[in-house]
Amino acid sequence: MAKRGYHHGNLRQALVDAALELIEEKGPTGFTLSEAAKQAGVTPAAVYRHFAGREDLIAEAARQGYEIFADLMDYAYQSGQPSALASFEATGRAYLAFAKKYPGHYVAMFESGVSVNRTPELALVANRASGVLERAAEGLSEHIPPEKRPPPQMFSAHIWAMSHGVVELFARGSPGRQSPFPPEDLLESGIGVYLRGLGLLPPDG
């Protein structure tokens, strides 16, 4: 690959972009800082002026991913308003769309082993993303009697886990794993079963 040019001030972003390409190609542990520097067209020494190590570089890629993810989730939530159900279902679809469109960011966020608490900035934006799903769950569960209502954090965590599972098993081309149904249909039907179990959809809804 030809070395990318960069202007003063955006070397840091050039390194993040290089890392994202390498993460897609080799995984989060399959490259070195020297390779990221080469991909960005700079010397290895230049990397250390911005990042102490590979994990710091991946953490910044994850932070930027969470920014995109949170904005996408919020947009999806707002697109479903004023229907709490439509908003909730839209956030699930947004999860799949994000994983498909931003695979490098997705891996940095969820598969790199880098903690969301590595930096305050990363923790803040990760919480903003999960907060959108919690808000959607809270709005939808208002119709459940209080004694039967799961906490919004649990409700949203269940759907997040279901979304993540569909992405990991069927939406990212995992070798040997094929489904006769599109990932979007799998997630939508799974959410439907979950919501019917909570009494939020009619039995044949």
174 pLDDT tier (thresholds 50, 70, 90): low
- pLDDT at residue 92 tops 50: yes
- The residue among 123, 121, 119, 130 whose CA lies nearest residue 70 is 130
List pLDDT tens digits, range 101-133: 999 999 999 989 999 999 999 999 999 988 988
CA-to-CA separations, 53 to 37, 48, 118, 167, in angstroms, rounded = 12, 7, 13, 29
The percent of residues in the chain predicted with pLDDT above 70, rounded, is: 90
- DSSP state letters, 119-153: SHHHHHHHHHHHHHHHHHHHHHHTTS-GGGPPPHH
The DSSP element (H or E) to which 78 belongs, if any, is: helix 54-80
Structure tokens at 99: 């994983």
Which pLDDT score, from 0 to 100, does residue 22 have?
94
Which pLDDT score, from 0 to 100, does residue 60 have?
95
Task: Look at domain 61-197 and name its CATH class.
Answer: mainly alpha
Distance CA 21, CA 24 (A): 5
Structure tokens at 105: 């960011």
List pLDDT tens digits, range 32-64: 888 999 998 888 888 888 898 899 999 999 999
1 pLDDT tier (thresholds 50, 70, 90): very low
Distance CA 131, CA 129 (A): 5
- pLDDT at residue 183 tops 50: yes
